[in-house]
Structures are given as C-alpha cells and as structure tokens.
Structure 1
Amino acid sequence: MKTMLCTAAAAGLMATTATAADKTLTISVYAFAQDEYKEALYDPFEEICGCDLVVETGNSVERMAKIEANAADPVIDVAVISAHDAYALSQKELLAQIDSTRLTSFGDLYPSAQDPLGDQTAVGYTFYASSIVYRSDLVKINSWADLLDEEVAGRVALPNITGTQGPLTLLMLSKALGHPEDFAQTITTVGEHADDIVTFYSRSSELAQLMNQQEVIAAPVGRFAWGSFKESGLPFAWAEPKEGQTGGMNVMVMTKGNGNEDLAYQFMDYWLSSEVQTRIAEAQIDSPANAKVVLSDEVAEGLTYGAELINSLNMISPQDIVAHRDAWVEQWNAEVIR
C-alpha cells in the first residue's frame, strides 16, 4: 500500500509520516484480484483514514496457521476467510466478538450475513454460487450426476476435498445420486470413477488453464471465477442443474486482543457500506452481501446477486463442515487419492 518514508527532506514530511505510521492496519485476505481491490478498496480507505494498510495474502491453511501461532500477540487485525474456516478459529477462541452497533451498514446486510456463525464473531461480506462450467459445443450438463457420466469420462475435473469447492460438490453429487445425507457413499462413488477424472484441482486458476487448453470440458467452479471462462473466447456455459446450485459465504473476522479494534471497525464498516460493495461488485471482484446494492443486469450476470438467487443456494453449515471435514478427508485420501 502506501510506501513509508524512512527519511524526509523536511520536518513537516517527517511528522506526516510518523502520524501515518501510528495508524497501521494489517489485514489477511485471499490472493486473487489484489490490483482491483487496491483500486476499489485499499487506496480509498487509506485516504479516508489517514492510515496504512499492510495486506497479507496466502491460502487459507497458511493464513489460519499464522493467526493461531500468534494468538498471544496478534499480528493480523482483520481477516477475510470462508465461513467454515472462521468457525474453526472461533472454536479455538481466537476471534473477537463483533459489536454490530459499530457497523453502520449492518442492518443493510442480508440476514444470513449478519451473524453467520451464530456467535457474533463474523460478518458476511460476499456470497458465491457454485455450479458446473462446461463446453456447450461438446456436452450438455443437466445434472450434477453428469459429472460422472461416460460422456465426459477422461475430460472432467473435480475439486479436491480440502478446497472450498470440495464439500459443496459432494453435497450436490450426493443430492443428485439420491442420498443427500450420505457423503461417505458419494466419496466411494467418486473413488470408483477416479480414473475418469483428469485432476482433482486445488485452485480455480489451475482449472481455467486446463479448460482453456481443452483438456477438461466440464467441472464445478465458483461464480467468482466465471469471468476467466466467459472471456476466454471458447463456448463455455454456466449450468443450471435440476438439483440447483450450491454456494457459500466468505466472512470478515477480527482477531481477539489485537489492540487495533477502532481502526479494524472503521475498515470493516467501510467495506460493508453500499458505496464500497457497489464499487467492488461493478468491478466484478466480489458479489455483495449488502442488500441495498443495486446492479445493472449486465454486471449482475457475472455475480451472485439478489435475494432470490442467494436464498435458493444449497449450502452446508460451517458447523457441519468443521464437524465432518477430517472424516471426509481421511476417506477421500483412502478411496480417491490412491
């Protein structure tokens, strides 16, 4: 973000720098779209607050581990992560409770984003739908079960169980296969088809490359990655399976005892405002959790937008994911990643 001045030609400049140095907020975020976030969120906030943002990125495991390792003396003030990862941190008592009265747009958020963990330690800032992206000139996808069909065998990718899309895909495959409460049976079925799967991807960028190279013609993906397929020049389509779409919510959290709560609340409040959520949505970075955001049809087409779509998503509770994740991973490693 802003570059700190180590020396200055004038005392006035030194005083200004010292003032800024006294107001520094360290945030931990996803690595994607950082140039766009800088323009839409980080730079405008620094101008308003007269402070500096230190932005740290990385995958969820790395970022969560850093929060846990520094619990006694937090080095991260605010983090944005998946709802289930936030719940895992909350269960370890690493998160501060959020005083919603200090967030002026709190009442404008969709109800499900206001207290997604049920303990006031997180607030939702974006929703994402997930469905299947496919080559419309080569195959037609009508059901999540089509991912295991012979028509796409050897040309389909699935997300790894350890990624955000993994449990969501299990949810919808289980529903399509007729046993929505039995992920174990679905994992076994995926294992039986493992030789037909090109890869079990961990990052959407990895999947986009495979699909653009035409090695994969169908795969589950989050709506936030749809733009890279839509703009590729190839005839990709977004499926609307008969079982519906799945999805999730990303949330913002504040570490317990970070000592920088005032600036953290200011930043969170700014990000949740209808002004900023609109600007981020119009830049096609993230879908809004603020229900007052109004978007054109053209912009909304690339996002997870509106109460009707959000309320229709098949979602897994953070509590269920955390409770069963270890068992899913163990079975997955034994039967799928052989």
Structure 2
Amino acid sequence: MTAKRSRVGAAALGAALLPAAALAEGTLTISVYSFAQDEFQEIVYDPFMEICDCEIVVETGNSVERLAKIEANKDAPVIDMAVLSTHDALGAARKGLLAPIDVTSLKNHDKLYDIAKDPLGDNLGVGYTFYATSIVYRSDKVTVESWADLLSPELAGNVALPDVTTNQGPPALYMIGEAMGDADYSLSAPIEEVAAHADDIVTFYVRSSQLAQLMQQEEIWAAPVGRFAWASFKDNGLSMAWATPTEGQTGGMNVMVMTANNGNEDLATRFMDFWLSTEVQTKLAEALVDSPANAEVVVSDEIADNLTYGAETVASLKLLPPDVILDQRETWLDQWNSKVMK
C-alpha cells in the first residue's frame, strides 16, 4: 500500500464507507480513547505506518460505546486491538471478546514494570500506562499525611471526595479503609465512615475539572485526584502539594487488548510492540500524554513531576484488582446510595 494514512473519527465513518476488501490487507483498525489524538497521530500512528507500510483506522469514543461495538461484532470483528481500563478489559474477556496476546512476540514486554506485564492474567492484556491517585491539598492551610486526614476536623467543610461511580471513587474509599485498618474489598467500613462525615464534604465530584474550579475559588482545600490532573492544580497560583500518604497511593491502569478472531493478529501485535517501545513511551511521556509503563523511560524532573513515574512510585501503587471492581461495583453503588446519598 503506497498511500498511508490514519482516519480518525467518533465512528470511523470513512471505514464504514469502504468495502471490506479495501480494509482487509495492510489495514489495522484500533479503538482508543478520544483524548490527545493529535499527539498520538504524530508520535504513534504516523511513525508506525511508515514502518509497516500499512494504514491505521482509528475509532474513538467512550468506553461504553467502544465495548458495545466490539461485542456487537463479536462474530465478525471490525476492531483489531483496543485500549481499555483493566476492569473494562476484564469484562470484555469474560464475554469471550478478547484473545491472549503473544507476549513472546513483544520484544519490549520485558522492559515493562512488573504490574503492567500481565494485569488481567492469561496474557489477555498488556499495561501501557497507569496513573497514581493521591490527595492534592493546600499546603498553606493543612498538612495531609494519611488518607484518614480527608475526614479530619481540620478539613471539615473544605474537602471534596470522588463519587463512587467515578474511576477515582472506589480506590479512594479503599485507601480510606486502609487508613482505618480495614482493607476489605466490600468497602463497607469506609463507606460508613464517609456517610458519618457526609455533612463535612463540600461535594462528591464526578469530574476533576470541578475540583480545579473549587480549589481556585478556595471552596476546598483537599481532594483525592488522579495524577493526570495534577498540572491543573500545581500552577493555579495557590500553595499546592501532592500528598504521599503513609498508606501509599492508589490509581488505575489502562491496557492494550487483542480482539478475538480478528484475523489481523500479527499486525496488531507489531503495533502494540511499537507503542511499548522505549522511544515511543518516552515521547508520549515528554508530551505529557501518558505515564510510561516501560521502565527504561527516562525523563527530566520537570516532566516527571506531571506523571506517575519511576520505580519507587510504581511500587507504592495499591491498585484495586480488576475482578474486584467488576464483581463489587453494584454492591458499592447500593451501599453508597443507601448510606451516603440518602
């Protein structure tokens, strides 16, 4: 194929208009998150197309939409590989939508941090990025040394917590439980504790952008947040700090997955390997797109300050297992609605 390009769209309209034969040979169709697509085009898609002499069709959308499309086309896959959260990926695997990745063909697999090598089990996914979740706070107002400090008298009326339906919610509750000496995945104890302090919580947020505004308006002094949002706080003109709680940090991970029986496994595997390479992961980190899962990546202190970076940080992450998130989230929501939101 001499004409190499990627087509990006919410539903890859161009792909839908082409006959199947035109997309069958030398074309890789991927399903990804919609953010930072200009950077991914420059750093990942275009360079890979030059190497493989192939075409990449990029489909974007939220996780629900993308998973629904993969499931709807289970018998005749239209997606070759996708990137998902660990729990969404495990949910897809349980429905028989994914195939194991041949990690022996990934020359960059051994370069990954251990937590990224096989986070789902059976090589059904490979971690390509992760993020820490900790507590951002006003260092001129309070000192935060423990997750328990979120419910302390010093922060009463000046703290926000994530809603249980968000990606940050259950991990933050789990860490509050850790601080209480209760690490049970039921989250019953921390949910009860949050319920007891509900009147002291300014809001249970659903978007980190809400927090940035509340912090700027000085309505809150502290809140759990993903590291990817740290840049919007640290340069807001206030005295801001990122906590390193005694119980550790939590967070999340995104993985690459292979759809089952897509017929394009070799090209998809080559693309995954390219994405996991030290060069590509370094460029994505320097562009502040993704925190690197490749342990060989080295970036400046200034760049590292905006990322979840380095062996020590990675070792401190206490990630909720994806099967726990899948199996417990309805119970968590029921408890939350009955105890906290009553």
TM-score bracket, shorter-length normalisation: 0.7 to 0.9
Q: Residue type matched to 1:76 in 2?
A: I
- Aligned twin of 1:277: 281
Secondary structure at the aligned position of 2:98 is classed as coil
Question: Retained in 1: the 8 A contact 2:71–2:97?
Answer: yes
Structure 1 residue 189 corresponds to structure 2 residue 193: yes
Partners of 1:207 and 1:190 in 2: CA distance: 18
State the identity as a percent. 62
Task: Show the 5 A alignment for 1:46-125.
Answer: 46-125=49-128
- Aligned twin of 1:213: 217
Secondary structure at the aligned position of 1:81 is classed as strand
Shift of 1:153: 2.7
Secondary structure at the aligned position of 1:85 is classed as helix
Question: Retained in 1: the 8 A contact 2:6–2:45?
Answer: no
- Aligned twin of 1:265: 269
Secondary structure at the aligned position of 2:29 is classed as strand
Partners of 1:47 and 1:69 in 2: CA distance: 32
Partners of 1:88 and 1:243 in 2: CA distance: 29
Structure 1 residue 199 corresponds to structure 2 residue 203: yes
- Aligned twin of 1:227: 231
Show structure 1 runs of 5+ residues with no match: 5-17
Question: Retained in 2: the 8 A contact 1:40–1:280?
Answer: yes
Q: Residue type matched to 1:191 in 2?
A: A
- Aligned twin of 1:7: none
Partners of 1:89 and 1:251 in 2: CA distance: 12
Deviations 1:13-64 (Å, cap 9, x if unpaired)?
Answer: xxxxx98895333322223333332322223223333333333333333332
Partners of 2:100 and 2:36 in 1: CA distance: 28
Deviations 1:136-175 (Å, cap 9, x if unpaired)?
Answer: 2222212111212233233322112222211210111001
Show structure 2 runs of 5+ residues with no match: 8-20
When structure 1 is superposed on structure 2, of 289-298 and 93-102 the one drifting more is 289-298
Structure 1 residue 333 corresponds to structure 2 residue 337: yes
Question: Retained in 2: the 8 A contact 1:282–1:299?
Answer: yes
Secondary structure at the aligned position of 2:83 is classed as strand
Deviations 1:199-218 (Å, cap 9, x if unpaired)?
Answer: 22223233333333333321
Provide closer, same or farther for how the CA distance between residues 67 and 150 of structure 1 changes in structure 2, counting only shifts above 3 A.
Answer: farther
When structure 1 is superposed on structure 2, of 100-109 and 227-236 the one drifting more is 227-236
Structure 1 residue 240 corresponds to structure 2 residue 244: yes
Partners of 1:36 and 1:232 in 2: CA distance: 25
Say which of 155, 172, 190 aligns to 1:152: 155
Secondary structure at the aligned position of 1:38 is classed as helix
Secondary structure at the aligned position of 1:277 is classed as helix
Partners of 2:57 and 2:221 in 1: CA distance: 40
- Aligned twin of 2:309: 305
RMSD: 2.3
Shift of 1:302: 2.1
TM-score normalised by structure 2 residue count: 0.87
Question: Retained in 2: the 8 A contact 1:21–1:52?
Answer: no
Provide closer, same or farther for how the CA distance between residues 100 and 58 of structure 1 changes in structure 2, counting only shifts above 3 A.
Answer: same
Secondary structure at the aligned position of 2:96 is classed as coil
Provide closer, same or farther for how the CA distance between residues 70 and 207 of structure 1 changes in structure 2, counting only shifts above 3 A.
Answer: farther
Secondary structure at the aligned position of 1:276 is classed as helix
Shift of 1:274: 0.8
Provide closer, same or farther for how the CA distance between residues 95 and 186 of structure 1 changes in structure 2, counting only shifts above 3 A.
Answer: same
Provide closer, same or farther for how the CA distance between residues 51 and 19 of structure 1 changes in structure 2, counting only shifts above 3 A.
Answer: farther
Shift of 1:3: 7.0
Structure 1 residue 296 corresponds to structure 2 residue 309: no
Deviations 1:308-330 (Å, cap 9, x if unpaired)?
Answer: 22112222222222222221122
